[in-house]
Amino acid sequence: MDGDFLTQTSLGRWVDRRRRALRRAVAVLTGTDGSSAVESAYARWAPIYDWVFTIPLVPGQKAAAAVANDLGGRLVEVGVGTGLSLPLYGRNLRVTGIDLSEPMLRRARERVRRETLGNVDGLHAMDATDMSFEAASFDVATVMYVVSVVPDPAAVMAEVERVVKPGGTVIIVNHFASASGILAAAERLLARFSEKLGWDPLFPRETILEATSMELVSESRHGPFGLFSMMVFRR
């Protein structure tokens, strides 16, 4: 893909602005603390996560929350992060959030207190591949911007399927690798920084489909330029 063409398009300009912001952030947040790669990356991201990611992530979060709000019941958000999505859930949902990063969870708990989110039952430090919940504990699970972050996405899918009731709903929101075009070129650029960013821009959609026997009932695109896909599964 010609670099001049990329920078002349609105998508190219958006990607370029985000890339510069990410590079500045990575320059500030370098180094590791001996924890896992995912924990370390998100501990570094926590102070600026909302500033960097609110614009691109919120459209997908709103779409997922709208589906969940129509369903009601008990919901677990896997990878709740700083809690950006928590205010989007309706009062007909009892919400539990988990995340591997304690620095991110501290910000999520502050958000719950600040916005008096009474439908949030708890926010827990927990590994998405080994949740402490009983089987069939939840009616709905949302897994947003997580599967391309974790080392073993198939294990996450299996564990999410375990904790959701039969007949329940699993909502995945994520960016998946593009086959060609401007997005594919941008993904290849971002892939150079995947370790510091904490996610894989080249993550294939097939990884999720092959990891579960759940029925895919709908799929749609969201976010700036349709960067993110929402997949809704029936357990």
CATH number for position 223? 3.40.50.150
**Which residues span the domain enclosing 226?**
3-234
* CA-closest candidate to residue 137, choices 80, 94, 99, 173: 94
pLDDT at 19: 54
Domain count, the chain: 1
Q: If phi over 0 gives left and psi between -120 and 50 gives alpha, with beta otherwise, what is residue 116?
A: left
Look up the pTM and report it.
0.75
Residues lower than pLDDT 50 in the chain: 1-8, 24-35
pLDDT at 187: 60
Q: What is the DSSP string of 135-167?
A: TT-EEEEEEES-TTTSS-HHHHHHHHHHHEEEE
Element (H, E) at 199: none
pLDDT at 148: 86
pLDDT at 31: 39
pLDDT at 186: 61
pLDDT at 179: 60
pLDDT at 9: 59
